[in-house]
Amino acid sequence: MKLPLLVKVYFCLRRGWKKLSPEAQTLVRLFVRSQEKDGKYLNAGGKTDEYYTQFGKLLEAVFSPLRIVSLPMAGLTVRESMTQDTVYGTFFRFIRDEIRLRRPESVQVEVPDMCTTNAVCCILAMKYQTGEMIDRQLVEWLLERQDETGGFYSSDVAPVPDILTTAVALFTLRLIGEHPRNASYFIEAHWMENGGFAPTILDDYSDVEYMFYGLLALGSNE
């Protein structure tokens, strides 16, 4: 029986965390701590937010493994816009069921007409977890979204690759046994002096969600 995806994500985050030097780990901890208020975590607008709090709590468990007794994202608070999409709605129900030991037997989801990198990653990850046939064309499409810096574009029209998409793509490709281009340069370029990870090379802010994706990218990178 395969480990649930959420557990695999946790171990990947731990790999990313362990790759950091002690000095870098301290900087990361301080950044995450700066995003906490009254036991909850701040969103990009500086207000406490349940969606961001689950990322902060999971990062706490990454820093201190004894806190993993109960996976803090098992409830999976998601943005409303995510659940409206068939692929994302199916994906979040899937990982909820997995962590509660009610794994679906098969994945009933269509590839959207307007493919996004993250939607394709969701489909590939679910199919891998249930042992279904992996569509090689989807894998090749995903690999083509990576540019020479190692980053992945969220879609064919995205102006620059971003750390969220890169983390998800690297994690998914590693999960299914593929070996994309090394993304060390890309990841390093998005790590900020305050310890957070910027969404794109054009941004100068971070939050606990992007810290999560930065460590996920680091842990997935080979």
pTM: 0.91
- Helix 163-175 and helix 5-19: axis angle, to 10°? 110
Decide the pairing of beta strands 40-41 and 36-37: antiparallel
Cα gap 31→41, rounded to integer Å: 11
Could you read off the pLDDT of 26-42 as tens digits, one per residue? 999 999 999 999 999 99
| Number of domains comprising the chain | 1
Q: Which domain, by its residues, includes 43?
A: 5-220
Give the end-to-end CA distance of the chain in Å, rounded to a whole number: 25
Of 24-33, 46-55, 127-136, highest mean pLDDT: 24-33
pLDDT given at position 207: 96
Q: Is pLDDT of 70 > 60?
A: no
Cα gap 76→74, rounded to integer Å: 5
Cα gap 222→202, rounded to integer Å: 25
Determine whether 183 is exposed, middle or buried from the number of CB atoms within 10 Å of its CB (0-12, 13-18, 19+): buried
